[in-house]
Amino acid sequence: MMRPISLSVLGLLMIAGASSANYDELTRELEAFEPKPYLLSSPGANAASTQNTASDERFEQEVQALKELKAAYAAAFKYPSAEKSFYLPTKHQGTEAELIGTSDEAATAAISGSLALSTLDTLVFTRNRGIRSAAQRRLAALESISQVTHLDEILRSYSVFTESVMTGIGPAKGKDTIRNKFPFPATLALKGRVAAREVDIAHENFEITVRDAITKARTAWWNLLYIRRATEVTSETLALLHRMESVATVIYESGKTSFQDVIRIRVKRETLAEKLVTYLEKEKNLHALLLQTVDLPIGTQVGALDIDDAILPTTGLTNEATLGKIAQSDRQELKRMRAMIYKMESMIEMSATMIIPPFTLGFSFYDDQPVLQTGTGAMKSTFATTTTASMGAGLPKMPWYGVGDAYLNETRRKLSALQNSLVDAETKTATMVRMAWFELDLAGREFELFDAKLIELTRAALDVSLTGYEAGKATFADVIGSYTGWLQTSLALERHRADYGIAVARLEQVVGTRLSELNTTKSDGNMDGER
């Protein structure tokens, strides 16, 4: 009875050994299995591989284009052109500008010497803190171009390290799902446009800061010139009044006039002396303003003002219509708004590219899974079998939902508002040019009137009345009237001179271009030739 059982156990053990050998051989065969070449090199797989390679090449091209764009901007900022800048130091001022921009001693020597407008412009451009801040913000905006590719590089690296792995039979092969692809080249180019417009906006802000700082400094320079000239005229008038008081005292002592004449002269003299003190205090205020614009400490000596290179009313200017056209193209605020519009248009296009579904719903898209999707053992269908509007994680679930997306609607509304604001700003610019031109024309005509005619007439009237009063042939009222007329005319002459210089600076501020750069000076020097 025991013998049959032993034979049976022995037979089972022999069968188990054979089965184990067959299993090991089967395992080795399965591990060594590779899909047929026609499965691995299917047209779809080749197309996907080609598409990936082309995408990588386009991405690298866009990255290189962005690098070249940043380099071009950096070169333009380092070596700016006079045509695109409101102000640049001239070539012969290059070394001087670098010196006074870095040395407080050189800047102090420059402002304490003969201070011309050209020297003041250089001081402001190289030392003004607001201009330096705007320059740093412009460089900061330039760095945004480099940041454009950072997110895309991270996403591409993430897609490489987290791509799906086919865990079926055969060697493991990576899977790059087309639904998870990010539209790198298209959106990268659009993001590059947005970053470039940010740099353009920062550059226009820099130019606005330069323009306004120079205009402010020039206005203070002309007002300081007026205060100093007014101080000279008032001091000269005081000297004349001292002389007249001596004459009136002698005449009073001779009994030919009353003591009231002497009192009136003293009242007039004391009034002018007090006004002279006011002028001196105003001069200190203007000194402080000038020193602030060039970043020098309060109390630094401001030298004599050199008006040899200042724009005087005898210099011809282009006509109003031409200036209006120049302002529409060169005014920095308009250029900044146009850059903002272009930036917003690129943002809308980029958002639409990333949010709005494409024209095809992608039912013919399939993944690079040749083994799992072919043959009778396929785990899922090659093509989509259900209708869906989604094309990836985070994208809209309804077809064309992105068209009505709240963010896009908001941005489109802002774009429309900005476009209307641009038209309004262009209209206001035309009005500002008209007003600035009127102020310039008025100041120029009044200066010519006082300089060519009135100042000589009032001086002659003063000399005649003073001589007549000493001889007893003119009344005291005539003398006082002549003094007052000459003083007022002299002050008005200096005021109109300064007003003309300020009007030129403000017209340049409105137009956005230095008038001296327009090369439109008339050879005959007649200001009325083109009015």
What is the token pair recorded at 489? 């005319």
The pLDDT of residue 500: 92
The pLDDT of residue 528: 37
Under the banding of pLDDT at 50, 70 and 90, the label for residue 44 is very low
The pLDDT of residue 505: 92
CA proximity to 295, closest of 137, 138, 96, 110: 110
d(CA 516, CA 88) in angstroms, rounded, equals 12
29-45 mean pLDDT: 55
Instruction: With residue 305 as reference, give the H or E element that holds it.
Output: strand 305-306
In this prediction the pTM is 0.73
Under the banding of pLDDT at 50, 70 and 90, the label for residue 307 is confident
Q: What is the pLDDT of residues 427-468, one digit of tens each?
A: 999 999 999 999 998 998 998 888 888 888 888 887 888 777
Query: Among 56-60, 137-141, 176-180, which is the least confidently predicted range?
Result: 176-180
Is 340 or 95 the better-scoring residue by pLDDT? 340
Is 203 or 398 the better-scoring residue by pLDDT? 203
Instruction: With residue 509 as reference, give the H or E element that holds it.
Output: helix 476-511
Query: Among 4-8, 154-158, 424-428, 469-473, which is the least confidently predicted range?
Result: 4-8
Under the banding of pLDDT at 50, 70 and 90, the label for residue 182 is very low
**Phi-psi label, residue 461: left if phi above 0, alpha if psi -120 to 50, beta otherwise:** alpha
State the pairing for strand pair 164-165/115-116.
unpaired
d(CA 416, CA 407) in angstroms, rounded, equals 14
The pLDDT of residue 165: 47
Under the banding of pLDDT at 50, 70 and 90, the label for residue 289 is very high
Helix (H, G, I), strand (E, B) or coil at 313: coil
415-421 mean pLDDT: 93
Residue 11 has pLDDT above 80, yes or no: no
335-353 mean pLDDT: 86
The pLDDT of residue 379: 55
Helix (H, G, I), strand (E, B) or coil at 491: helix
**CA torsion, ordered 265, 269, 270, 272, to nearest 10 deg:** 140
Q: What is the pLDDT of residues 383-413, one digit of tens each?
A: 555 544 444 444 444 444 444 567 778 888 9
The pLDDT of residue 520: 40
60-65 mean pLDDT: 80
The CA–CA distances, whole Å, from 81 to 10, 72, 76, 141, 435 equal 100, 13, 8, 20, 30
The pLDDT of residue 426: 94
Yes or no: say if 480 and 241 are a contact pair by the CB < 8 Å rule: no
DSSP 315-383: S----HHHHHHHHHHH-HHHHHHHHHHHHHHHHHHHHHHHHS--SS--TT---S-TTTTSSTT-SS-SS
Q: What is the pLDDT of residues 63-79, one digit of tens each?
A: 888 888 889 999 988 88
CA proximity to 174, closest of 33, 49, 39: 49
Residue 316 has pLDDT above 70, yes or no: no
Residues 6+ apart with CB under 8 A from 103: none
Residue 250 has pLDDT above 80, yes or no: no
The pLDDT of residue 397: 46
343-347 mean pLDDT: 87
d(CA 62, CA 75) in angstroms, rounded, equals 20
Residue 530 has pLDDT above 50, yes or no: no
Is 60 or 104 the better-scoring residue by pLDDT? 104
Yes or no: say if 158 and 114 are a contact pair by the CB < 8 Å rule: no
Residue type, 205: N
Query: Among 337-346, 453-462, 464-473, 517-526, which is the least confidently predicted range?
Result: 517-526
What's the angle, vertex CA 473, arms to CA 467 and CA 477, rounded to 5?
85
Under the banding of pLDDT at 50, 70 and 90, the label for residue 6 is low
Residue 24 has pLDDT above 80, yes or no: no
Residue 175 has pLDDT above 70, yes or no: no
The pLDDT of residue 266: 81
The pLDDT of residue 181: 43
Rounded mean pLDDT of the chain?
A: 75
Helix (H, G, I), strand (E, B) or coil at 231: helix
Query: Of 241-245, 268-272, 298-302, 479-483, which one has max mean pLDDT?
Result: 298-302
Q: Rounded to 5 degrees, what are φ and ψ at 314? A: -80, -5
143: how many CB neighbours lie within 10 A of its CB?
11
Long-range contacts of 176-180 (CB under 8 A, 24+ apart): 176/48, 176/52, 176/368, 177/367, 178/48, 178/365, 178/366, 178/367, 179/362, 179/365, 179/367, 179/391, 179/392, 180/392, 180/393
